[in-house]
């Protein structure tokens, strides 16, 4: 079924493509995936922890960040209060990279990961220890000052425990997931949910702020900040974008309408059709073809048998 000349897969259907035949979709044009995806890693331009036992002090220039619940204790078995962390990432470079690689505005955010390096046994006695759950929120407000304090040199020129509540907005801030730290030294990766507000903030190309807070009283999670001396161990936000799925071409020949589009291997593509678009928006779209995740990357050509004078097509992509 594959054209040896065009290096594309052709398949035919009369309105719907049988699911049992999907296995024949898989060898498509190689090499397309590299041009259709892009990954950018961002280091924070601001991060700080806030501490309930020093509610007016700022810790923006310290080499560590921390999230701690009420039951965690330090290395001497002493409970050292609560810790939250704020992180802010500049995403303008990511937008520029995606526009350059995939086309201006022609991309969709398909993944985001927060990657940090944990210190399970921090030297400073103010930090609690222990594994547990924490929650990451996208913050609707990024108007906060990192400050210049370290645990050894207190200042009040930035974010503090007392001012944190002024930034939080329960009606607008969005959870990006609940995660658990390992409780051991090393790099850890947390896949963030692609909430609409979070993705919109990325696409706007300004700043993206995250708030990390305890979801379990046992957590005592300390990790390196952007001020940590080893740049390889600093935190970063990794964002992946995919070329926005689109129908590349539609042609009519020999009683068939040929619909073509490109794919990448780790996403599911769904081509749908409908004969009439209702003004109320209640049109019922039928699946013509589903290219499952795990198929090889390339170009698909769907040949739809013509049975109506008009037909509308749409293409969607999902993990």
Q: How far apart are CA 276 and CA 293, in angstroms?
A: 29
Q: What is the pLDDT of residue 263?
A: 80
Check if the beta carbon of residue 242 is closer than 8 Å to that of residue 34.
Answer: no
Q: What is the pLDDT of residue 36?
A: 73
Check if the beta carbon of residue 137 is closer than 8 Å to that of residue 87.
Answer: no
Q: Sheet containing 268-274: which strands, arranged edge to edge?
A: 286-291, 268-274, 312-318
259: nearest Cα among 1, 77, 15? 15
Q: What is the pLDDT of residue 114?
A: 98
Check if the beta carbon of residue 135 is closer than 8 Å to that of residue 175.
Answer: yes
Q: What is the pLDDT of residue 7?
A: 35
Q: How far apart are CA 62 and CA 225, in angstroms?
A: 7
The pLDDT tens digits for 228-269 are 989 999 999 999 998 877 777 888 887 788 888 888 767 788
Its pTM stands at 0.74
Ranges of the chain whose pLDDT falls below 50: 1-35
Domains of the chain: 2-34+245-318 (2.60.40), 44-234 (no CATH)
The pLDDT tens digits for 17-31 are 332 222 222 222 233
């Amino acid at each position: 079924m594959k054209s040896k000349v065009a290096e594309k897969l052709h398949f035919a259907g009369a309105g719907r493509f049988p699911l049992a035949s999907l296995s024949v979709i898989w060898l498509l044009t190689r090499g397309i995936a590299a041009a259709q995806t892009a990954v950018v890693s961002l280091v924070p331009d601001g991060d700080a922890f806030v501490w309930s036992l020093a509610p007016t002090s700022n810790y923006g220039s310290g080499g560590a960040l921390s999230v701690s619940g009420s039951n965690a204790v330090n290395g001497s078995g002493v409970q050292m209060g609560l810790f939250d962390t704020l992180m802010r990432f500049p995403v303008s470079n990511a937008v520029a990279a995606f526009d350059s690689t995939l086309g201006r505005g022609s991309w969709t955010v398909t993944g985001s990961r927060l990657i940090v390096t944990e210190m399970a046994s921090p030297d400073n006695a103010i930090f609690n220890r222990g594994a547990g759950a924490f929650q990451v929120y996208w913050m609707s407000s990024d108007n906060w000052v990192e400050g210049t304090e370290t645990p050894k040199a207190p200042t009040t020129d930035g974010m503090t425990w007392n001012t944190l509540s002024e930034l939080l907005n329960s009606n607008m801030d969005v959870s990006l997931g609940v995660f658990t730290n390992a409780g051991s030294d090393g790099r850890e990766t947390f896949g963030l949910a692609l909430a609409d507000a979070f993705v919109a903030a990325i696409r706007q190309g300004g700043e993206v702020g995250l708030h990390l807070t305890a979801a379990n009283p046992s957590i005592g999670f300390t990790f390196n900040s952007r001020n940590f001396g080893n740049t390889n161990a600093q935190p970063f936000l990794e964002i992946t974008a995919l070329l926005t799925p689109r129908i590349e071409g539609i042609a009519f020949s020999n009683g068939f309408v040929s619909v073509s589009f490109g794919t990448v291997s780790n996403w599911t593509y769904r081509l749908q059709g409908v004969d009439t678009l209702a003004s109320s928006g209640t049109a019922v779209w039928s699946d013509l073809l589903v290219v499952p995740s795990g198929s090889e990357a390339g170009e698909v050509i769907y040949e739809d048998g013509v049975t109506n004078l008009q037909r509308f097509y749409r293409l969607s992509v999902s993990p």
